[in-house]
Amino acid sequence: MGLSFCQLEKEHALAIITWHYSSPYDYYNVDAHTIQEVLHYLIDAKNDFWAILNLQGELEGYCSFGSDGQGPGGDYSTEALDIGMGIRPDLVGQGRGQQYAKAVVGHGTNQYRAQQLRVTIAEFNKRAQRIWARLGFKQVEKFTKIGNGEEFVVLTCAVQTVG
């Protein structure tokens, strides 16, 4: 699976805000009342979003590096590159998550020269937790997100141990 990355542009963001996941992953759907806000957030360069493209240049997902990958209420005092990732709904559940995650890690470490990586994942999303665990990430924290009471887990991994 050949993937490439480019800075997320408005056309990518317009596609992403229309993505709809089935339960329980509908948690990640964009609420109709916040579409414009999310659109501006995705294309704001300071939020560091990247489009994940296949060999034909089609959008398969997106990722972010930095504070977007954090959740209010978590302890982010240890230096690490925070990673966020989303995959197009029709591609979810096809056994390719680890390939996407590995490509995102490769892109992030090349761009940012990080020594430590970190992901924050909704506690219910066991599928995502397994993907990152297979790459060598270990859970270091569980917290309740400020604002909505959702449970999240934080996993970290040293760059040299990512498998």
Q: What is the DSSP letter of 148?
A: T
Judge whether residue 161 has pLDDT over 70.
no
Sheet containing 138-144, strands listed edge to edge, beginning at the edge strand earlier in sequence: 4-7, 49-53, 59-65, 81-87, 116-122, 151-158, 138-144
Mean local confidence (pLDDT), 46-64? 97
CA proximity to 52, closest of 87, 97, 92: 87
- Confidence band (pLDDT; 50, 70, 90) for 163? low
Mean local confidence (pLDDT), 94-100? 94
What is the pLDDT of the chain when averaged over all its residues?
A: 94
- Confidence band (pLDDT; 50, 70, 90) for 96? very high
Number of domains composing the chain: 1
Three-state SS for 51? Answer: strand
Query: CA angle, 67 as apex, 123 and 71 as ends, to 5°?
Result: 30
Domain enclosing residue 94, as ranges? 4-161
Domain of 14, CATH number, reads 3.40.630.30
pLDDT value of position 146: 82
Other C-beta atoms lying within 10 Å of the C-beta of residue 135: 18
Judge whether residue 1 has pLDDT over 80.
no
Q: What are phi and psi of 129, to 5 degrees?
A: -60, -40
pLDDT > 70 fraction of the chain, expressed in percent and rounded: 98
